[in-house]
Amino acid sequence: MREHVFKRVLAVGAHIADHGATVRDAARAFGVSKSTVHKDLTERLPLVNPGLARRVRDVLAYNRSQRHLRGGDATRRKYALRSWSPGG
């Protein structure tokens, strides 16, 4: 693994574990795609730092379990800004 990739994998993993960030947040923070972050976390990180990989896996599982709630909140905010409601 190239050195810059190795450093990015550890930095992204630490960022997600420390801040509870989503894959999308981490991709934005590090200037890479969501696919790159996902590959870094699921394939590369376990090879580099298995302990950190377990912490990250737990954060990602939590974020996945909350995803439907975040989507519902976004929809609620979207329609709260309008003077009409959907279906009405």
Q: Find the mean pLDDT for residues 12-30.
A: 96
Q: Domain for residue 50, yes or no?
A: yes
86 part of a folded domain: no
Question: Is residue 23 in some structural domain?
Answer: yes
| pLDDT tens for each residue of 59-86 | 999 988 877 667 677 787 888 877 665 6
Q: What's the pLDDT at 86?
A: 62
Q: Long-range pairs for 77-80 at CB < 8 Å and ≥24 separation?
A: none
Q: Is residue 87 part of a domain?
A: no
Domain count, the chain: 1
Q: What local confidence, expressed as pLDDT, does residue 35 receive?
A: 97
Question: What range defines the domain where residue 24 resides?
Answer: 3-79
